[in-house]
Amino acid sequence: MEDFDLSPSAEIPATPIKGRGAVSNVDHRFSTDTRQNMADGWEASEPALPQTRLLVDRAKSIISRNDSPDLGFDQSLNPYRGCEHGCIYCYARPTHAYLGLSPGLDFETQIFAKPDAPRLLREALAKPGYVCSTIALGTATDAYQPFERQEGLTRAVLEVLLETRHPVSVVTKSSLIIRDLDLWTELAQQNLAHIAISLTTTNGPLARQLEPRASAPHARLEAMAKLSAAGIPVSAFIAPLIPGINDHELEKLLGAAREHGASHASYTLLRLPHEVAGLFREWLEWHAPEKAARVMSVLYDLRGQRANDPNFGSRMTGLGHFAKLIRQRFELACRRLELSESTPALDTSQFIRGARIERNGQLDLF
């Protein structure tokens, strides 16, 4: 990993790059100047493509807390900032602006790892005033994105949670989660684990455009089946639903999830906070120009004639007739498939503050 500096990536032409979600490196909302590429006839060669860098985030704390009525958890943990999956619709993209970086290509190429995450978590759980409630992993950026394969931060965090008998959930679109099947199985046996697999489409080419470096749809479904077979409660998270792009797949995605062992399901509609609105419009113009105007029109209708609706109660599921229709379709499909719309309640009573526990369940004397 490299030490972090505040140097933004070099300006990159606004054209799609294979394996990347964002088309460009847009200026973030705190920028005091703007940059624009212009041909002057002196270019000796094509500009270099953006390279992925792993940087160090020396976080001082690791648990984030919220009191949002729209979320099913009140505390979360993200071992990484930025996400190489490159999902064009990611609502977390604007967070890179706080680092002086672009929510565009920088978000998916300048990745920050938190190497102190396991230690910080252990310290937080050992505090006398800590109140145990489920910790949600990967709520902003995927805890199982590609760098996790070499860094192992998510696995180390899970080991701490298992030692302290602490309940945990995760949302991921990566089949890499199967690597930690042993830990998730042991947690689930004690009613301490819940996993949600994010599904966007069953269409491979569309998935490569929407979320270029995430696991392929079939790989996610296979991971879901393996997790379920191991006795781990698994949910299908159908997100985001995008009018005119993937909303017609709602019932198909729920059916596929049920066939692969899902017992619960939820969904969200596309959100376009801050710079994501411009990035998504740009993506539409390149990948679905014939649909762009209609898609944005419906999205504005869903969000009260705005690019984004931040209000509790409507920001996840939208407003108006289209939102009601999606809700009705979802509820009917869940009833038909016998999928629960609520997530399983995990056990907080087993939590042991700050204790180290050996894998056989014996407390460590020291």
pLDDT in tens, 87-114: 999 999 999 998 999 999 999 999 999 9
pLDDT (tens digit per residue) in 317-355: 999 999 999 999 999 999 999 999 988 899 999 999 865
Which amino acid belongs to residue 98? Answer: Y
Under the banding of pLDDT at 50, 70 and 90, the label for residue 68 is: confident
Token code pair at residue 174: 């990566």
For the cut 70, the answer to whether the pLDDT of residue 299 exceeds it is yes
Taking residues 170-180, report their average pLDDT. Answer: 98
Give yes or no for a cis peptide into 240 (omega within 30° of 0): yes
Q: What is the pLDDT of residue 77?
A: 97
Helices (H), the chain: 105-109, 117-126, 148-151, 153-163, 181-189, 204-210, 217-229, 250-259, 276-287, 292-302, 320-337
CB atoms within 10 A of CB 328: 10
Q: What is the pLDDT of residue 357?
A: 44
Q: What is the pLDDT of residue 31?
A: 63
What kind of architecture, by CATH, is found in domain 53-337?
Answer: Alpha-Beta Barrel (3.20)
Q: What is the pLDDT of residue 9?
A: 46
Report which secondary-structure segment, H or E, holds 275. Answer: none
Q: What is the pLDDT of residue 18?
A: 87
Under the banding of pLDDT at 50, 70 and 90, the label for residue 49 is: confident
Could you give the 3-state DSSP secondary structure of residue 169? Answer: strand
Cα separation, 114 vs 25, in Å, equals 24
Mean per-residue pLDDT of the chain: 89
Cα separation, 34 vs 28, in Å, equals 9
Under the banding of pLDDT at 50, 70 and 90, the label for residue 288 is: very high
Of the candidates 48, 70, 111, 14, which has an alpha carbon nearest to the alpha carbon of residue 266? 70
Q: Which residues contact 183 (CB under 8 A, 6 or more apart)?
A: 155, 158, 159, 162
Token code pair at residue 173: 């679109």
DSSP state of 247: G
DSSP state of 49: P
pLDDT (tens digit per residue) in 124-156: 999 999 999 999 999 999 999 999 999 999 999
- What global pTM score does this model have? 0.88
Could you give the 3-state DSSP secondary structure of residue 180? Answer: helix
Q: What is the pLDDT of residue 15?
A: 75
Under the banding of pLDDT at 50, 70 and 90, the label for residue 366 is: very low
Token code pair at residue 320: 């108006």
Under the banding of pLDDT at 50, 70 and 90, the label for residue 63 is: very high
